[in-house]
């Protein structure tokens, strides 16, 4: 899938998809993703295996991630160049959102 189609399909990203992709800053298997997301969100987000593997399957189909290795019944995933472009675009969007929230939050207090 070309990058423009990927961006149109995924941006804005769901929080779940964002954290799954963010977790793949290094190659990880499904359970490693679940634990990493739990750790970096201070247990605010605890992903179910169905959610993780469903999202991973969709992302793999769309060329955002790829299988890095199969290790003893554990599939390890990594981000493709398309996935890196996607996460970079989403981080840029979130930074803009955050900056604007900081500018205008006082008007609502």
Q: Which residues of the chain have pLDDT under 70?
A: 71
Nearest to 22 by CA among 49, 50, 45, 5: 45
Q: Which ranges of the chain would DSSP assign to H, the alpha helix?
A: 3-10, 15-23, 30-40, 49-61, 81-104
Tokens 């469903």 label which residue?
Answer: 54
- For residue 35, the tally of other CB atoms under 10 A from its CB is 14
Sign (positive or negative) of CA dihedral 51, 57, 62, 66: positive
pLDDT at 32: 96
* Predicted model pTM: 0.92
- pLDDT tens for 3-23 read 999 999 999 999 999 999 999
Helices 15-23/30-40 angle, 10° precision? 110
Residue 73 CA neighbour count, 13 Å, CB half: 0
């Amino acid at each position: 899938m070309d990058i423009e189609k990927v961006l149109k399909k995924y941006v804005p990203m769901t929080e779940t998809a964002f954290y799954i992709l963010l977790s793949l800053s290094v190659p990880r298997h499904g359970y490693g993703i679940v634990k990493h997301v739990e750790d970096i969100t201070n247990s605010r987000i605890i992903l179910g295996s169905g959610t993780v593997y469903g999202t991973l399957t969709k992302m793999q189909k769309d060329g955002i991630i790829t299988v890095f290795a199969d290790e003893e019944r554990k599939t390890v995933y990594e981000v493709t160049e398309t996935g890196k472009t996607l996460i970079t675009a989403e981080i840029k969007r979130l930074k803009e959102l955050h900056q604007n929230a900081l500018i205008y939050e006082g008007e609502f207090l």
